[in-house]
Every structure is written in C-alpha cells, then in structure tokens.
Amino acid sequence: MISTTPSKLSTPARLTAPATAKLPRWALFALCAVYILAGLIGREPWKSDDVIGLAQMWTAAFSDNAWMHPQVAGIAVSQKGPLATWVGGGLMVLLGPILDPIMAGRVANILWFTITASSLWYGVYLLGRRAEAQPLALPFGGQPSPSAYGRMLADAALLLLLATLGFLWRSHETSAEPAAVAAQALAFYALARMADRPRSGAITLGVALAAAFLARGLPAVAPLLITLPVLFRPGTTLVREIRWLFLLALPIGIALSLAWWIPAANSNPYWMNGWWHWHGNVLGWISQQGAIGTLRNLPWFLWPTLPLAALAAWRWRGHRAMLHVQLPLALGAAAFVMLFFTQRPSDPEFLALVIPCAALGVFVLPTLRRGLVNALDWFALMSYSFALFVIWLGWTALSTGVPPRLARNIARQTPGFIAEFSILSIGIAVAATVAWIALVTWRVRMRPAAMWRGSVLSAGGMVVSWLLLMTLWLPSINYSKSYRVVSQGLAQALEAEHRVVGKTACVRTIGLGLPQRASFALFDQLVFTPSPNCPLVLIQGSPDQLVIYQRRPDLEGAVVRWDGGRASDLRERFRLVRVPEATAP
C-alpha cells in the first residue's frame, strides 16, 4: 500500500482543499468522447499514413491475409510493426456486419486513445497520492487529502493531454503511431504501479514493452529501454523491485516480441530485410535538417505541456529522486535523447514526449502563484476564442464569398470546390461554440478555485476548435485530401473496359505512389499486378511526366482510356491506357 503520510521534506507545492474540487466525471468523459469521435466519424481517409494504415488492415482482413507481414494491396510495407494492422484488421472482420471497413478500422483509434488516457490518468493518480508529492501541510489544516490531490492532478494531466497540439491529429490517424503512444502510456502507468504492486506492474510493463515494439519497432521501444536503468539504479524508489523487472517484465516483453519476430523472419526474409532497412533509415545521428526541423516544430507540437514540464523540472529540482518527478523526467529525457539518434525526427518521434510532458507538467500547477495561473487561464481563453473566430470567419468566406479577399485566398487552396450547407454540421458547430461561451462565462464570473480550471479551458478550447474544423471545414478538407472521387472514376473506367473487352484484364502501374494505391484498394477494392504483360497500365505523374511516360517503348501505341485526378491538385494526374500488343497473362 502507498503511504499517505505527508512528507517531512519541504515541497514547492502549495494548495488548499478547495483547489482540489472534483471535476464532474460526466464532463471529463464527455470531453474525451467528443475529442476522439470528432474526426473519426464522417471523415474520408486522407493521403499518406492515414489511408495506408487502413489499407494495411483491409489487405490483412479481406485481400491477401497479410497478418504477419503488413501489405497494401500486394505491396509489402516493411515499416513500423504489425500491431495496428492486427487490431484494426481484426475489428474490420469482427464489426464487418454492422460497420463499413473504414469505420470499423477506426474503432482501433478509440481503443488506443482509451488506453492512453486511462494509463496517463491512473499513472499520475498513483504518483500524485504518494507522500512525497503532497503539498505543504498548512499550520491550521485545510490541505487536501492525498486521494483528492492525486485525483486533481490526474484530471489536469488528462486535460493537458487533450490540449496538446501535436497529439490531436496523430490520435485520429489510423496508423502505428496511436498504438505506439498507447504502449508508452501503458508503460508509464506500469512503472508507477510497480512502486506499490510490483508483480502486476511488472506484468503490465512487459506487455507494454512488447506492444511498443510490435507497434513501431525499435524507435518506439528504445526510449522505454533507456529509461529502465535510470529508474532501477541504486538509490531510487524502484530499485527494491528490480527482481520483478528481470523475472517478469523483461521476459514477458521479449517473449511476446519474439512470438511475432521469429516466425515473421523465417517465413518472409524479404519483408524482414525491408523492416531492418527501414530501421536503418530512421535511426542514426541526427542530420542538420533534422535538427533544424526539431527546433522549429517540437515547441508547437508539445504546446502547452513542454514549457510546463520544463518549469516543473526546475521547481522540483531538489526533489528529482522522488518518483513523481523522476519517472516522467526519465521518460522525457530518454525520448529527448532518442531525437539525437534519429536521422530526421518528426511527429512519430515527438509523440514519445507527449505522455512524459503531460505527467511532469501537471506537477507544476500546485507550485504556481495565483497571478501566474490566472495569466495562463486568460491566455488560453483569448487564444482559443480568437481561433474559433477565425474558423467561423473562414467558413463564412468559403460559403458566402464574404469577405471577398479572404474568400479568394481560400478558393485558391481548394479550386473547384462548391460549398454545401449541412444543417446538422452547422447545428453541431453552433452548439460547440455556445458551450465554449458558457465555459468562458463560468471561468470569468464564478472564478473557481479548482486547480484544473486552466487545463479545462485549454482542453475545452482545443476540443471545440477541432469539432468546428471537423464539421464546418470537413467537406473542403475531404475534397483536398481524399482520393475517393478519383478511385470511383477509375473503377468506372475499368468496368467499362470490362464490358468492351468481355473479360477482366489485369492492370499494371507506372509511378503509382503507395498512398494512391492504398486509396484505390480501400475505396473500390482495386488491386494491381506487377506483371509486365498486362494490357492496361495506370500511370501517375504530373502532366509533363505523363507525356514522357507514354514515350516508353513498352507503351508504344497505347490508347488512353481514362484521365483523372483531384481537382484540388492539378500537378498530380492519373491516366489509364491500353497497350494493343500486350496480352494478359
């Protein structure tokens, strides 16, 4: 059991019982539900990782049975790991009778988010109720109880996660990244749990290590492995439980990882060679461009948790041996060190810092003066109010043409798009805006003492902004990023060709990108072949590239059967041609 006796050591935390007033559970759950569901329902799969991840799930479930070695419509994708494909593909099979494959695959995002959010909440709660984490005892009493204090910190940490800018899009992307974050969050919880229940914590840690490896290979599990020697070294809180690390956690993690890796390597060495090649492209000394990109992108990606975590590390600098500081600080430091051993760090590597920054940053809240807390609250209030105004203004310009200058600028980004009014979308956007106004009014008029008040403003502003984007702006975003219309046009052209020729002809490709291949497979089940004898050839490229391609000897005399492309991108075109002298295999 965890001791709840106040620590005799001095502490920078100063807090009274009213500041730990309980955040209503319905409000917290509703905020989390709106956060994850907005952007999953009604959104088309977008180019790159999102549609590739869904296509890998679809291929495993309905096409090539590629469970051990993820593929996209016959093309090996030797990157990351199979965990997201297993879960998403399994959900496609399980929920196929009631949901379309795209939405069934996205249920995995709800699962990953639930694991991430609950692991962060319970991990911070366990750390926050420890004796050494408690605020300074007041002379005449009135300090919060350990459980109320831990609950307040856990609520605020979860709200900070929702407010993290970079986590927003990636948590809705159907790829390996949400699974990797969930595994890292589960490892954080497991390490916090080992302090009072070492065996169950060690078992959970072993599962988390294997899940991180199976989600995204060594780049995802390396920060966790780097952290372990730091947390279990002599003189630390967890050193007493080191035997469970070697008896349970590491053996379970290694066994579960090898259960996939050994049969995968033996059954398909070609795929596994590509997997190792991908590791070689990701890992290595950071490049100059990678360093510049990290300095430019990391601060906004981790806003607002990064500055809070840095301030927490300073405020608790004399207490770094205590688990509530040491654990998130070690995880964050390990993830930061890994950036220097990644050639071109980007969002997937930055995500390893999301949980440590939220878990550490929340411990600075009880150390802040009221004036600084109020300043942060007002900054969140003004920033998100302005963001909502801009979103509404842009939508008004897109829909009505007023103001004209802004409307012309937006039209240049979405050429050919015709705005359509949706009563449901507008109603949801209006309701969300009213909810934000009510939240702001509550903050300004009631002046609550609860320490989570600023976090709920940031999280609420982020959720409302995202909800407005996924309602008012979703049609135009889908128009710019989805290949559904192109896929439908190609499918109709192939069907017409089938009626003319009288049989289904194979189709080979030239210059077709992986996201485009994934889109065609996912939307219309179009799977192409590498055979050089196919009479039909699908070519992708710029208009100039299409002309050059058709001068190739193997395309001599080809007849154009179909031209297509996204109206929002005139530089990317597709052309289906028939080569007369080619014969189907």
Highest mean pLDDT: which range of 314-323, 367-376, 495-504: 314-323
User: In the numeric block, which tokens belong to residue 4?
Assistant: 């709840």
The answer, yes or no, to whether residue 149 has pLDDT greater than 90, is yes
pLDDT above 70 coverage of the chain, percent: 96
Nearest-angstrom CA–CA distance, 548 and 542: 10
Please state at what angle helix 370-400 crosses helix 453-469, rounded to 10 degrees: 10
Per DSSP, the residues of 246-259 read: IIIIHHHHHHHHHH
What pTM was estimated for this model as a whole? Answer: 0.94
pLDDT at 567: 85
pLDDT at 447: 84
The answer, yes or no, to whether residue 6 has pLDDT greater than 70, is no
Q: Under 8 Å CB-to-CB from 417, ≥6 apart: which residues?
A: 398, 411, 475, 476, 479, 480, 567, 568
Q: Under 8 Å CB-to-CB from 485, ≥6 apart: which residues?
A: 566
Q: For 62, which DSSP code?
A: I
Contact 321, 236 (CB under 8 A): yes
Nearest-angstrom CA–CA distance, 256 and 258: 6
Sorting pLDDT into bands at 50, 70 and 90, what band is 572?
very high
Helices (DSSP H) in 421-566: which residue ranges? Answer: 423-441, 453-469, 474-481, 484-501, 514-524, 543-549
Q: How many helices (H) and strands (E) does the chain have?
A: 24, 6
Q: Under 8 Å CB-to-CB from 333, ≥6 apart: which residues?
A: 230
pLDDT in tens, 58-96: 999 998 888 999 999 889 999 899 999 999 999 999 998
Residue 558 has φ and ψ, to the nearest 5°, of -65, 140
Distance of CA 228 to the CA centre of its chain: 25
The answer, yes or no, to whether residue 8 has pLDDT greater than 80, is no
> Among 111-120, 207-216, 251-260, 535-544, which is the least confidently predicted range?
535-544
Sorting pLDDT into bands at 50, 70 and 90, what band is 2?
very low
Read off the pLDDT of each residue in 519-536 and give the average, rounded to a whole number.
Answer: 89
Sorting pLDDT into bands at 50, 70 and 90, what band is 7?
very low
Helices (DSSP H) in 232-249: which residue ranges? Answer: 242-244
Per DSSP, the residues of 122-138 read: HHHHHHHTSGGGSPPPP
C-alpha triplet 316, 321, 324: angle, nearest 5°:
65
Domain residue ranges of the chain, discontinuous segments joined by +:
41-106+175-367, 370-481, 484-578
Question: Mean pLDDT, the chain, as a whole number?
Answer: 92
pLDDT in tens, 315-367: 999 999 999 999 999 999 999 999 999 999 999 999 999 999 999 999 999 99
pLDDT at 531: 81
Nearest-angstrom CA–CA distance, 455 and 220: 28
The answer, yes or no, to whether residue 584 has pLDDT greater than 50, is no
Residue 19 has φ and ψ, to the nearest 5°, of -70, -15
pLDDT at 450: 87
Name the burial class of residue 445, with classes exposed (0-12), middle (13-18) and buried (19+) by CB atoms within 10 angstroms of its CB. exposed
pLDDT at 5: 41
Q: Give residue for tokens 């300095």.
A: 295
More confident residue, 431 or 582: 431
Read off the pLDDT of each residue in 107-114 and give the average, rounded to a whole number.
Answer: 98
CB atoms within 10 A of CB 473: 17
Residue 283 has φ and ψ, to the nearest 5°, of -85, 155
Contact 160, 304 (CB under 8 A): yes
Nearest-angstrom CA–CA distance, 527 and 218: 31
Nearest-angstrom CA–CA distance, 462 and 33: 13
Name the burial class of residue 553, with classes exposed (0-12), middle (13-18) and buried (19+) by CB atoms within 10 angstroms of its CB. exposed
Nearest-angstrom CA–CA distance, 387 and 399: 18
Helices (DSSP H) in 59-164: which residue ranges? Answer: 83-95, 101-128, 146-163
The answer, yes or no, to whether residue 570 has pLDDT greater than 90, is no
Write the single-letter amino acid at 194.
M
Instruction: Calculate the alpha carbon distances from 278 to 190, 218, 376, 382, 448 in Å.
Output: 29, 11, 42, 43, 51
Nearest-angstrom CA–CA distance, 290 and 386: 32
Read off the pLDDT of each residue in 239-251 and give the average, rounded to a whole number.
Answer: 97
Contact 416, 568 (CB under 8 A): yes
The sign one gets for the Cα dihedral 99, 100, 103, 104 is positive
pLDDT above 90 coverage of the chain, percent: 77
The answer, yes or no, to whether residue 128 has pLDDT greater than 70, is yes
User: What is the number of residues in the chain?
Assistant: 585
Contact 115, 186 (CB under 8 A): yes
Nearest-angstrom CA–CA distance, 195 and 555: 68
pLDDT in tens, 280-328: 999 999 999 999 999 999 999 999 999 999 999 999 999 999 999 999 9
